């Protein structure tokens, strides 16, 4: 080993100096051959192309000049340890990654890492071994508490792609409490539905896809409103427009119109200023046109003729009740020329004239036997008898003439 000034003093012998000189010669020869081996080495600066340390290396830093001898060096320093530390270099030809460097890592496995605002420039694959699906956990916003939402892949045997919507919103699931996606929307009434533009969501089972359809198209696709059988008490929110069609029943079924309580069935009007109202066997016919109410009975051949039953005018101030005959027959009107059976004339039930007959009193006669029924004054009876040679002074003759 090379000697120092403190190792050779005035008290040393020549032999001691010779021994130290020989040691120095050996060290110098070793430096020239590049094969020096030191048990301990202390130096301020070591300049060498290769340094092999077989035991320990005591230093706070190592400075690397690099290929170019200039003012720029790389310093490898050690933080003052508080215990024994071991830093192992990889058994591979590689480039070390620094904390402050920007690097690309390939085929690296990170176990339970903590990543702050990571940026993934390509697709991310979440795997969880060979026995379960990959997953991502989203913790609550309360200081990363214990509550979390887990997004987990399905046990699928085929690739599935989920595309997120291109708008702000909340994702719902089959387990969403109270179906808040629907209950959270604005409620509208039937009158606010724009049937031509408002749309419903349908599942097309044959295409395995969701599709949208307007209310009008949904109703028309079903042939209109086909049944209300499931509703035992259906109600209308407005007038029923049959759109020129009929209300019919099938299998000879009845159509019952039954008002509630003392209500009436009212047709073609309000039942007060016009229209026909029906209640418990009573039919009221009113008109708002200024004409008398009437009923038309049409004949059996193409409705070619009609007979009209009409109310008396307002000027008659009549509220008479007409009772139909109890027996089958044909009614005869004032303008008819038909035959009125004598049996239909209840003379016995009539009121007696209450006085003597006068020549001005009227009787009914059949003009010409089978002709037209006409009226005649009793004076015509006197004229007839006089013409036959009877006189009114002979009551016996009058009695004979009258039978």
How many Å from the N-terminal Cα to the C-terminal Cα in the chain? 193
Q: Quick: pLDDT tens for 170-215.
A: 777 777 666 677 777 888 888 888 888 999 988 999 988 889 999 8
Question: Left (φ > 0), alpha (ψ -120 to 50) or beta: where does 218 sit?
Answer: alpha
Domain ranges of the chain: 1-45, 265-313, 352-402
Q: Are the C-beta atoms of 275 and 266 separated by less than 8 Å? A: yes
Count other Cβ atoms within 10 Å, centred on residue 277. 20
Q: What is the pLDDT of residue 28?
A: 59
Q: What is the pLDDT of residue 107?
A: 86
- The sign one gets for the Cα dihedral 26, 27, 32, 35 is positive
Distance CA 307, CA 335 (A): 13
- Quote the pTM value: 0.41
Q: Are the C-beta atoms of 286 and 271 separated by less than 8 Å? A: yes
Q: Quick: pLDDT tens for 74-100.
A: 888 888 889 999 989 899 998 888 889
Low-confidence ranges of the chain (pLDDT < 70): 1-10, 23-59, 143-144, 176-179, 224-228, 230, 337-339, 342-343, 390-403
Q: What is the pLDDT of residue 1?
A: 47
Q: What is the pLDDT of residue 191?
A: 81
Q: What is the pLDDT of residue 222?
A: 75
Q: What is the pLDDT of residue 212?
A: 92
Q: What is the pLDDT of residue 266?
A: 93
Q: What is the pLDDT of residue 55?
A: 56
Distance CA 165, CA 153 (A): 19
Q: What is the pLDDT of residue 56?
A: 60
């Amino acid at each position: 080993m090379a000697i120092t000034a403190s190792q050779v003093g005035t008290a040393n012998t020549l032999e001691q100096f010779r021994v130290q000189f020989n040691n120095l010669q050996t060290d110098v020869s070793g430096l020239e051959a590049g094969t020096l081996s030191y048990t301990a080495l202390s130096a301020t600066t070591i300049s060498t192309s290769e340094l092999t340390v077989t035991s320990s290396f005591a230093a706070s830093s190592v400075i690397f000049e690099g290929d170019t001898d200039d003012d720029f060096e790389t310093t490898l320093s050690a933080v003052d340890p508080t215990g024994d530390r071991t830093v192992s270099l990889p058994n591979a030809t590689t480039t070390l990654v620094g904390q402050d460097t920007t690097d690309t890592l390939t085929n690296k496995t990170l176990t339970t890492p903590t990543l702050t605002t990571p940026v993934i420039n390509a697709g991310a694959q979440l795997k969880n071994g060979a026995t379960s699906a990959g997953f991502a956990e989203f913790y609550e916003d309360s200081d990363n508490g214990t509550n979390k939402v887990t997004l987990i892949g399905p046990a699928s045997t085929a690739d599935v792609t989920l595309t997120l919507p291109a708008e702000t919103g909340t994702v719902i699931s089959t387990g969403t409490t109270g179906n808040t996606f629907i209950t959270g929307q604005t409620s509208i009434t039937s009158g606010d539905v724009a049937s031509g533009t408002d749309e419903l969501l349908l599942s097309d089972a044959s295409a395995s896809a969701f599709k949208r359809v307007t209310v009008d198209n949904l109703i028309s696709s079903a042939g209109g409103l086909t049944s209300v059988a499931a509703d035992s008490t259906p109600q209308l929110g407005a007038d029923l427009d049959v759109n020129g069609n009929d209300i019919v029943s099938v299998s000879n079924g009845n159509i019952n119109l039954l008002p509630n309580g003392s209500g009436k069935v009212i047709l073609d009007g309000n039942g007060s200023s016009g229209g026909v109202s029906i209640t418990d066997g009573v039919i009221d016919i009113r008109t708002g046109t200024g004409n008398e109410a009437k009923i038309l009975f049409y004949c059996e051949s193409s409705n070619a003729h009609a007979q009209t039953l009409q109310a008396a005018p307002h000027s008659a101030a009549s509220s008479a009740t007409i009772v139909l005959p109890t027996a089958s027959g044909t009614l005869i009107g004032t303008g008819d020329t038909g035959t009125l059976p004598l049996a239909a004339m209840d003379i016995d039930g009539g009121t007696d004239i209450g006085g003597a007959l006068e020549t001005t009193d009227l009787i009914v006669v059949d003009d010409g036997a089978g002709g037209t029924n006409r009226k005649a004054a009793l004076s015509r009876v006197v004229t007839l008898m006089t013409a036959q040679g009877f006189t009114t002074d002979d009551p016996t003759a009058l009695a004979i003439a009258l039978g």
